[in-house]
Amino acid sequence: MLDFFSIATKGGLVLWSKAYGPAQSSPINNLIQDILIEERSSTQIYYKDNYAIKWSFVNDLDLIFIAVYPKSLGLAYIDTLLQAASSQFSDHYGDRILRKSGGIPQLKDWGVQFEALLQTIEDQDALSKKTKQPRKFEHTVGYSNSLAYAKAKPEDTKDSSKPALVDEDEFLRNIELLKKKSASPRIGIRKGRGAKSPAASPVIGSDDSKKKTKEGRKWDGKISAKDAKSLDYSNSDVTDVVNADHLVDQSKLGQHGKDGTYNVADLEASDEDESYSDDESEEEYTKISARSFQAKKPAAASSGLLSFFKNMTGQKEMTAESLEPIMSKMKEHLINKNVAADIAQHLCDSVAKGLVGQSLGSFKSVQAHVKQNMETALKRILTPKTSVDLLRDIAQAQAEKRPYTIVFIGVNGVGKSTNLSKTAFWLLQNNLKVLIAACDTFRSGAVEQLRVHARNLKALEQNAVVDLYEKGYGKDSASIAKEAISSAKLTGHDVVLIDTAGRMQDNDPLMRALAKLVTVNNPDKIIFVGEALVGNEAVDQLTKFNAALKDYSGLANPRHIDGMILTKFDTIDDKVGAALSMTYTTGQPILFVGTGQTYTDLKNMKVSHVVASLLRE
């Protein structure tokens, strides 16, 4: 039974709707937020709570038809209903919508037409279920195979897997080889379990006849006075030990706002990126697009995207068949930019689905229109849906008289501890008191690494309050984090940065330990630190980390990744596809990108720069 049917414009204006029962939730709103806005419309069906939702686009009218029904029923006629309803509605009201002079068209008689259409389709579906009979055995594949086997010749049915007989010459050669092998002294000699191989007797007077004795190590703990002096840091000033010149790049420092807050610098864009401005006219956009997608050699123009657009010159209406070669080349282009293959496919399918049926004119309009739709889709995906203002959230936690907690998670070797220290430097520039919790009790040197970072950060600022809370190795990381948060409340620290051990997404025991840490401490932010170098691996990592936090938490409303930091962003040139893959997978924003080894190498990533890099060839 159908629960809900609606006709709306792509801008969100509902033209007509019909409910056939009370709704327990708002599946249409969930469809808009999770599918349409996130450019996931390439999927055929969407499930939310107890509902299944299907939809159909009429792109030439900018309309969307939505059908909602119980997912337990699995109604088979929904696709037919959407196609028939969209076709009949377009025939009756398409001209009025295209004119747009009379405002919203009156749809008084559409309710009666839809009810008749629905009744007809339901009756046809019920009739097809009654008349459908099981197939006879003569119509099955098994019958045809049995018949073919019965008609086959006897020699064809013989077992062909038996090896052929060896001829006489090959038999004699094999015997000779066996004789040669049997003559070798290694064959046929088996040593007993306790037997020892005879050792060659040493020559009298040689060095081998003398026993070499290993000098014993002295464990008296005595060192020279010179070594003791070089290792004694107890009476020295921290600022004398640390050389702060290589820790901070003055040219990469951020700026202080009018309210006194310190903001990290924006990621610098190349000259080609800056040519992609939001307020360009269609003519200017077309020129830039032509220059960006132009092949280096005119004779080999078919290798670029420009040749595919040229094939569509003068086309009146875009169809799925005509868009297929263009989107195939666009998918390949995105994969070359390090976008995960599945995400590139979904994105291209979603954009193509929104273009089918639209009428276009000249070559330039085709070129600009297709690329503008892809640019709009990319911006919609990369634009944060939640607040990325950590300083405001920290201020709210200060008003509640509690420390703001951030957990850094990720796989091995991506730079969690390094970027944690960069985040600490940014917080210290905003006069916040930071406590670093060393919860990586697994990796050797992890605690010492954080101790060095804390020492360096103290040396950079005279009045900086940054402390390290650690309990050594081999302890429960969840308990250490809880003790660190309690300690921060007593000592008046504003922010607790929790470092965790790197773990692969398939390591089940370590993923359970991470879920326990998150469940016990309930941090304000869970930040995933990932490399900008990865492609398809980014999707696997984020999916399994989120799944582990959900499956092993034991909570009705489990936590998930709240944001991401992309590291090694200075090594990828314009292959920024990992940013799109991670954002598309989680739906969460990228807070910062790491671009180097100093504490100032933490940048803000602009969406326009990423989009321009993805579209530039």
The tens digit of pLDDT for each residue in 37-94 reads 776 766 778 888 888 888 888 877 778 899 998 888 878 888 889 889 888 888 888 7
**Helices (H), ranges, 55-156:** 78-99, 110-131, 141-151
Angle, alpha carbons 257-260-263 (nearest 5°): 50
- Residue type (1 letter), 521: N
Q: Which residues pair with 405 in a beta bridge?
A: 496
Distance spanning both ends of the chain, measured CA to CA:
50
For residue range 501-512, what is the model confidence (pLDDT) as tens digits? 999 998 899 999
Range ranked top by mean pLDDT from 247-256, 316-325, 376-385: 376-385
Range ranked top by mean pLDDT from 146-150, 214-218, 588-592: 588-592
**Helices (H), ranges, 313-471:** 320-336, 341-355, 363-382, 390-399, 416-429, 446-460
Rg of the Cα atoms in the chain = 35
pLDDT: is 5 or 178 the higher one?
A: 5
Query: Residue 157 pLDDT > 70, yes or no?
Result: no
For position 139, what pLDDT does the model report? 72
What is the dihedral angle through the alpha carbons of 299, 302, 308, 313, rounded to the nearest 10 degrees?
20
For position 451, what pLDDT does the model report? 93
Angle, alpha carbons 471-474-480 (nearest 5°): 40
Query: Residue 438 pLDDT > 50, yes or no?
Result: yes
**What is the DSSP annotation of 241-284?**
H--GGGT--GGG--EE-TTS-EEPPBPPPPHHHHT--TT--HHH
Rounded to whole angstroms, the Cα distance separating 382 from 219 reads: 60
Confidence category of residue 481, pLDDT binned at 50, 70, 90: very high
Residue 560: count of CB within 10 angstroms of its CB: 17
User: Is-contact 527 562, C-beta < 8 A?
Assistant: yes
Query: Residue 206 pLDDT > 60, yes or no?
Result: no
Lowest-confidence segment of 33-42, 147-156, 517-526 by average pLDDT: 147-156
DSSP secondary structure code for residue 317 in this structure: B
User: Is-contact 493 406, C-beta < 8 A?
Assistant: no
User: Is-contact 27 48, C-beta < 8 A?
Assistant: yes
Rounded to whole angstroms, the Cα distance separating 589 from 565 reads: 9
For position 289, what pLDDT does the model report? 40
For helices 446-460 and 416-429, the axis angle rounded to 10 degrees is: 20
Work out the widest C-alpha separation in the chain, in whole angstroms. 117
Instruction: Share the mean pLDDT of the chain.
Output: 78
For position 271, what pLDDT does the model report? 46
CB under 8 A, 24+ apart: contacts of 167-173: none
Exposed/middle/buried for 456, CB within 10 Å: 0-12, 13-18, 19+? buried
Rounded to whole angstroms, the Cα distance separating 454 from 449 reads: 9
Classify the phi-psi angles of 71: left when phi > 0, otherwise alpha if psi is within -120 to 50, otherwise beta. alpha
Rounded to whole angstroms, the Cα distance separating 133 from 524 reads: 59
Lowest-confidence segment of 4-13, 289-298, 407-416, 563-572 by average pLDDT: 289-298
Lowest-confidence segment of 106-120, 121-135, 311-325, 473-487 by average pLDDT: 311-325
For residue range 594-604, what is the model confidence (pLDDT) as tens digits? 998 889 999 99
334 Cβ contact list (under 8 Å, min separation 6): 344, 347, 348, 577, 580, 614
For residue range 601-614, what is the model confidence (pLDDT) as tens digits? 999 988 888 898 88
Query: Residue 240 pLDDT > 50, yes or no?
Result: no
Rounded to whole angstroms, the Cα distance separating 590 from 320 reads: 34
Exposed/middle/buried for 520, CB within 10 Å: 0-12, 13-18, 19+? middle
Nearest to 438 by CA among 468, 407, 402, 404: 468
Rounded to whole angstroms, the Cα distance separating 429 from 579 reads: 27
Rounded to whole angstroms, the Cα distance separating 2 from 594 reads: 51
pLDDT: is 235 or 420 the higher one?
A: 420
Average pLDDT over residues 255-281: 65
Rounded to whole angstroms, the Cα distance separating 268 from 394 reads: 27
Confidence category of residue 97, pLDDT binned at 50, 70, 90: confident
For residue range 527-559, what is the model confidence (pLDDT) as tens digits? 999 998 887 788 889 999 999 999 998 888 889
- Residue 150 tokens read as 């019965």
Strand, helix or coil for residue 339: coil
SS (H, E, C) 464-477: CCEEEECCCCCCCH
HSE of 590 in the Cβ direction (CA atoms, 13 Å)? 31
